[in-house]
Structure 1
Amino acid sequence: MKIVKLILCLLFGLMFINAGLNKFLNYMPVPEMPEDIMKIMGAFMTISWLMPLIGAIEILGGLLFAIPKTRALGAIVILPVMVGIILHNSYFMPSGLAIALPLFAINLWIIADNWNKYKPMISEPTA
């Protein structure tokens, strides 16, 4: 089971590193999208700092997620991006859920697996 987790986390991390780098280098072709989605993407592009910010978070989160020692932090860093991906695909591109849902499940699995590391941040301090 440990090797399965390692492989899944490496692939997860690499996918997000790739997605983040693409936001800066634009090396992947953009697939055909309906006009309403193109309008949304155009709106995102008018906010000049948004895509670089998301790309930087994807790269950082992917790197942290791929390294076992920092995986718990990477899972939390990448979680808001994953939620955005799930919501976007749910409303605009349901076909993308075939990839997004398993990735979200991996993210939640790693968060659950590292829950004890997060407890000090959310527990009441003892005086």
Structure 2
Amino acid sequence: MSATIATPAARKFAVGRYATIVTRVLTGLLFATTGLNGFLMFMPAPDPSTLAPEGVAFSGALYATGYMLQLASGVQLVSGVLLLVGRFVPLALAMLAPMVVNIVLFHVFLEPSGTVMAVLVAAAEIGLAWAYRDKFRPMLQPR
């Protein structure tokens, strides 16, 4: 009978691996749910009277385009599902990056009430991008 003794480095690797999986799944759930909600409207919309007028105006302008909210919901849904199943994760992160930047900037400048959640989403995106950094290196090579 042999006992397996994990080295501190092996334990650190395992913790990092599990943290990446948990972050990926939670981020995937968040974006898959909000993306699906964009099409099915199963979550109630916030009361506009409780929101900043600038945020309401920005959201109204996106809605008025006739396509932007559907496009954003589609990107969120597809990216969220990819994160959940663990396939094409770098592609999902690249698709979500501009959306996450917009979410953070929207809450920082237009609707401060959701800034904490927006920063947490950005931290998850950055953490996952760091975990998959080897997959992004070829994109960053000058040719």
User: TM-score, with normalisation over the residues of structure 2?
Assistant: 0.80
Write out aligned runs for 1:28-39 (5 A). Answer: 28-32=43-47, 33-39=51-57
For 1:47 and 1:29, locate their aligned partners in 2 and report how far apart those are by CA, in whole Å.
22
Write out aligned runs for 1:43-54 (5 A). Answer: 43-54=61-72
Identity of aligned residues (%): 24
* Structure 1 pair 69–37 and aligned structure 2 pair: CA distance change class (3 A): closer
Residues 7-44 of structure 1 show CA distances to partners (whole Å, capped at 9, x for unaligned) of 22111101101111111111111112233332222211
Q: Would you say the 8 A contact 1:65–1:73 is kept in 2?
A: no
Amino acid of the residue matched to residue 42 of structure 1? G
Q: Which residue of 2 aligns with 1:18?
A: 33
Amino acid of the residue matched to residue 43 of structure 1? A
Q: Would you say the 8 A contact 2:107–2:115 is kept in 1?
A: yes
Q: Which residue of 2 aligns with 1:111?
A: 129
Structure with higher Rg: it is 2
Amino acid of the residue matched to residue 27 of structure 1? F
* RMSD, aligned α-carbons: 1.5
User: TM-score, with normalisation over the residues of structure 1?
Assistant: 0.89
Unaligned stretches of 5+ residues in structure 2: 1-14
For 1:113 and 1:13, locate their aligned partners in 2 and report how far apart those are by CA, in whole Å.
15
Unaligned stretches of 5+ residues in structure 1: none
Aligned residues: 125
Return the offset for 1:95: 2.1
